Amino acid sequence: MKKRAQSLGRLILAQDWLAVLLAAILLGTGLSFIYSASWRGEEMGIVGSWFRRQIWWAALGTVLATALAAVDYRFWIRTAWWLYLAALGLLALVLVVGTKVYGAYRWLNVFGVLVQPSEFAKVALVVLLARVLGGGALAPRSFGTLAVGLLLMALPFLLILVEPDLGTAMVLVPTTAIMLFAAGAAFRHLAGLALLGVGGIGLALSPLGHFLLSDYQHERILTFLDPSRDPLGSGWNALQSAIAVGSGGFWGKGFLNGSQNVLGFLPRTVSPTDFIFPVLAEEKGFIGASALLLVFAFLLTRYLRTAWTAGDPAGSLLATGIAGLLFCHVFVNVGMTIGLLPITGLPLPFVSSGGSFMVSTLAGFGLVQSVHVRRMRREV
């Protein structure tokens, strides 16, 4: 009895409470600005209650994160293949019986709740890569390891790409690359791949591509990759978002006071989800926006610190992979809202409204906590 109490006590004390605090700040910020972005629309009866729904999803995610933190992550590492196969099955299922929203089949209707299997697949891929790359069976520097990693990534990547969900699919690539790098893949292999991938797609899609391609060509490539994309919609969103962020100034216009947001020039359907960052940047200015980035940077630091102190290579890679997902989402989301990257439709972790995404983000957080609890005791 005493022993059990002791182990429970250690479980609680060994948590990364700083990371918990950072995540709580992000969740609170998210809820505030979801409220700011949706209260007008709700009052006019145009949108449902994003705010209330978000509270429920955050609560569900927190329960899941707590459970995952308590369970030894090595259990998930052992069952990684099953998780991965289940994820592939769900991704295939969504193409057959998925619910169509905005012209894309991304959602499964589970008793009236729309669930995105691609969110589960992201986490499942990271867990499996942690097992395969950290299991010691493969020589980390060999080209074979690299090929296996890329192959494992390619299956969910293609299934998500045909939904179509370009944004989520694209996140898998750098996340896998980060994990391969952390696992010790040879520089020349990674560099070669990076040259191939970034050189081709990156040049065409990034603003650098504007030197080579006209806006229309640029748009056409994106529309080709993602047929549900609407040039007028994304063009409008991109410009209004830049105006919202820019007009926020240093101090911002004040909470609930952003004219872009309140008057609906940032369309009310996307402002609580993919475009929550401009809402914050308009109302809280440079101070608020950079503070938010700072919190994300701190959280990433905690994740990577957990990766450093992890008890085994698989745990380390797991934390690195989750950190990679978090980083990609934040970078691409903020980048697109401030005109650095094309509009691809990725939400901002912990902050944006969205059920499946909130749950997967918090599940990743729980997995990192589980690694952290079972860390090596080590002095710096």
| Residue 243 touching other proteins (CB under 8 A) | yes
Answer whether 83's CB lies under 8 Å from 363's CB. Answer: no
Answer whether 261's CB lies under 8 Å from 283's CB. Answer: yes
CB of 27 to other proteins, least distance (A): 20
Instruction: Candidates 272, 285, 345, 354: give the one binding other proteins (CB under 8 A).
Output: 285
| Residue 224 touching other proteins (CB under 8 A) | no
Shorter beta-carbon distance to other proteins: residue 125 or 245: 245
Number of residues that bind other proteins (CB under 8 A): 80
Provide the token pair at 225.
């990759």
CB of 236 to other proteins, least distance (A): 5
| Residue 72 touching other proteins (CB under 8 A) | no
| Residue 320 touching other proteins (CB under 8 A) | yes
Contact map string, positions 321 to 360, toward other proteins, x by CB under 8 A:
--x---x--xx--xx--xxx--------------------
| Residue 308 touching other proteins (CB under 8 A) | yes
Answer whether 173's CB lies under 8 Å from 156's CB. Answer: no
Q: Rounded CA gap, 362 and 66, in Å? A: 9
CB of 137 to other proteins, least distance (A): 12
Return the residues of window 252-281 that contact other proteins according to CB under 8 A: 253, 257, 259-260, 262-265, 267-269, 281
Span from 9-17, 26-34, 94-102, 160-168 in contact with other proteins (CB under 8 A)? 94-102
Span from 9-17, 23-31, 316-324, 358-366 in contact with other proteins (CB under 8 A)? 316-324
Shorter beta-carbon distance to other proteins: residue 61 or 164: 164
Span from 60-68, 84-92, 98-106, 119-127 in contact with other proteins (CB under 8 A)? 98-106
Answer whether 128's CB lies under 8 Å from 179's CB. Answer: no
CB of 153 to other proteins, least distance (A): 17
Query: Residue 47 burial by CB count (10 A; 0-12/13-18/19+): exposed, middle or buried?
Result: middle
Instruction: Candidates 55, 186, 201, 231: give the one binding other proteins (CB under 8 A).
Output: 231
Shorter beta-carbon distance to other proteins: residue 4 or 377: 377
Return the residues of window 108-167 that contact other proteins according to CB under 8 A: 134, 136, 140
Q: For residue 121, which of 44, 194, 176 has the smallest C-alpha distance? A: 176
Answer whether 268's CB lies under 8 Å from 38's CB. Answer: yes
| Residue 232 touching other proteins (CB under 8 A) | yes
Rg for the chain, CA atoms, rounded? 21
Span from 58-66, 124-132, 149-157, 302-310 in contact with other proteins (CB under 8 A)? 302-310
CB of 296 to other proteins, least distance (A): 7
CA dihedral 22, 26, 156, 335 (to 10 degrees): -110
| Residue 217 touching other proteins (CB under 8 A) | no
- Return the residue matching tokens 């079972």: 374
Q: For residue 31, which of 363, 348, 365, 356 has the smallest C-alpha distance? A: 348
Answer whether 88's CB lies under 8 Å from 160's CB. Answer: no
| Residue 296 touching other proteins (CB under 8 A) | yes
CB of 118 to other proteins, least distance (A): 19
CA dihedral 341, 222, 215, 240 (to 10 degrees): -50
Q: For residue 272, which of 35, 27, 23 has the smallest C-alpha distance? A: 35
| Residue 181 touching other proteins (CB under 8 A) | yes
DSSP 258-296: -HHHHTTSS-TTTTTTTTHHHHHHHHHHHHHHHHHHHHH
Shorter beta-carbon distance to other proteins: residue 40 or 74: 40
